[in-house]
Amino acid sequence: MSEAATSESQSRPVVQELQAKLPAGCVLLDSDVTSRSAGIWRSDTVAARVLVRPQSTEEVSLALSVCHAHGQSVVTQGGLTGLVEGALTNPDDIVLSLERMRTIEQINPLERTVIVQAGVVLQTLQEEVAQHGLMFPLDLGGRGSCTLGGNLSTNAGGNRVIRYGMTRDMVLGLEAVLADGTVISSMNQMIKNNAGYDLKQLFIGSEGTLGIITRAVLRTRPLVTQQPTMLAGVSSFNHLVKFLQHMDTELAGHLSAFEVMWQNFYDLVTNPPAKNTAPLPSHYPYYVLVEAIGARDEVMQNALESAFTKGLIEDAVLAQSEAQRLQIWALRDDVEQAFQYAPVFVFDVSLRIPLMEDYVQQVGRGLSDKFADVRNFTLGHMGDGNLHFVISVGDGSAQARQSVERCVYEPLRDIGGSVSAEHGIGLEKKAYLPFSRSPAEIELMRTLKKALDPQGLLNPGKVFDL
C-alpha cells in the first residue's frame, strides 16, 4: 500500500478520533486490513481499509460512539466462518473485529455457568470447561475457528440441537453495545428470570444488526464421557422416519444427534481423494449417524438390535472405541470434499420432517431441468428438521446462482419451510427472507432496527434493507 493511500485513510476524521481515543494497536489501516481473508471459505480479501480491534466492552463502546458521531458504518467480524456473506465489507466501512476479546472470565462448576468474551473460539471453550467436569453442548464443524460471538449473533445450531437446542437455549445473559455506544449489560446468571422483557433475545440471531455482543453468560452441562455412536444404512425414507422415532423412544431422552447422509454424500466422503474409509457398503440410499450422550453402551446396543428386528435398518456399525467414534463423525464433518467440484453453492434449510423426501426430490428435478450436469450432495441434522445442500452446477455466474437458489427456496415458500435453518440471512439470502417471514414480521424487524440503530450503521444492508 502506498504512503498516499495510507495517509488518505489516516486523514479521515473518524479514523483520527479512533486513533486518538483508543489504545495503541487498536486501529489497523490499509494493507494490514486489505491483506486479510474475507472469510475462511472465500478467496477474496477484506474490502474495508480500517479495522478496530478492541479488548473490552468499554473499548467497543468507545469505538461505536465515535463511529456514531461521524455517521460511520461498522461491520463486525469474528471467526469469519459464516456462509451467508454476513461479514462482507465495502471500502468505506470500518471493521470491528473481536479477535482480541478471547478471555474466559469465569467458570462456575457449582452453577454450571461460564462467563466469556465474544471472541472466544468455540473449541477453546469446549476444552476448557471439560477440565472442570463440564460440557458446553454447542458443536459444529467449524468449532476450531468459529467464535462464540458469531454463534450468538447467528443463533448457531449444529450437531446436537435435537437434545440441547439452538445457541439461544444455552445463554443465560449477555452484554451488547448499541450503535451509539450504549452498553446493555444483562449478565444474568440465573436459569429463571422473568423480570420484564428478555432483552438478550433481541441480539441473539440478529447478525450484528441491532448491537454488538461482547460478553455472555453461558449454561454448561455435566461432562459425560459416554457417547455411544453408531452408523446405520437405511433402505427408504419411510424407514428413516420410523428409525428416528424408534431411537428417540428407546434411548429414553439420550438421543443427541440423528445425522442423515444421502448416498451421494456418503460416496463423496468415503472415496479418494477423501481419506475416510467406508464403515458400511455404499449401496444404501441413506446413512444415519446416531449419537446418544450419556446413554449406556448396552442401551444403544439394545436399541440397535430392536431396530434390526423391526426391519428399520439394513446394516449398522457401533463404535467400539473413541477412535472409531471420531471416524464416524469424520464422515459427517467432511463437507469440504464437495469443494473439489467448483463452483459450489451451499444451502441450509429447515422444514417439517414428513415433507423432506418430496422436497429433496423437487429440488433435484428443478436442478436437472435447468442444468445438464448436477451434483447435489445432501445431508443434514434431520432430527431437528435441518437439511444442507452442497450443489455443484453451472459456471459460477450470478445468473447460475440465482437459478440454483430458486430451485432450493421456492418450494419452501409453499410448504412453510425456512430459507435459513442456522446460518442466518446476511446478504446472500436477503432477497428470499419474504419466503419464510410475513410482511408484518419483516416490518416489525425494521421497527426494531430503526429503534436501536436509527442511522443503520451496524452491518448495514444485511438481513433486509431499511
Instruction: Look at residue 6 in the predicted model and tell me its pLDDT.
Output: 55
Q: How far is it, in rounded angstroms, from Cα 372 to Cα 374?
A: 6
| DSSP bridge partners of 175 | 185, 215
Does position 1 have pLDDT exceeding 50, yes or no? no
Domain holding 83, by residue range, is: 3-97
Q: What type of residue is 313?
A: I
Residue pair 47/38 in contact by the 8 Å Cβ criterion: yes
pLDDT in tens, 119-146: 999 999 999 999 999 999 999 989 999 9
| DSSP bridge partners of 217 | 115, 173
Q: Which of 150-154, 263-267, 396-400 has the lowest mean pLDDT?
A: 396-400
Residues 6+ apart with CB under 8 A from 336: none
Confidence of residue 191 (pLDDT cuts 50, 70, 90): very high
Q: Does residue 297 lie in a domain region?
A: yes
pLDDT in tens, 222-251: 999 899 999 999 999 999 999 999 999 999
Instruction: Look at residue 7 in the predicted model and tell me its pLDDT.
Output: 58
Residues 6+ apart with CB under 8 A from 232: 243, 280, 287, 288, 290, 304, 307, 313, 314, 315, 316
- CATH classification at residue 373: 3.30.70.2740
Helices (H), 218-295: 237-250, 263-269
Q: Does residue 112 lie in a domain region?
A: yes
Mean pLDDT of the chain: 96
Instruction: Look at residue 2 in the predicted model and tell me its pLDDT.
Output: 46
Instruction: Look at residue 11 in the predicted model and tell me its pLDDT.
Output: 84
Asked if 212 and 237 sit in the same domain, the reply is no
- CATH classification at residue 218: 3.30.465.10
Asked if 131 and 86 sit in the same domain, the reply is no
Q: Does residue 436 lie in a domain region?
A: no
Which grid cell sits at 388? 444442507
pTM listed for this prediction: 0.93
DSSP string, 174-189: EEEE-TTS-EEEE---
Confidence of residue 76 (pLDDT cuts 50, 70, 90): very high
Instruction: Look at residue 22 in the predicted model and tell me its pLDDT.
Output: 98
Asked if 114 and 31 sit in the same domain, the reply is no
Confidence of residue 8 (pLDDT cuts 50, 70, 90): confident
- CATH classification at residue 49: 3.30.43.10
Domain count, the chain: 4
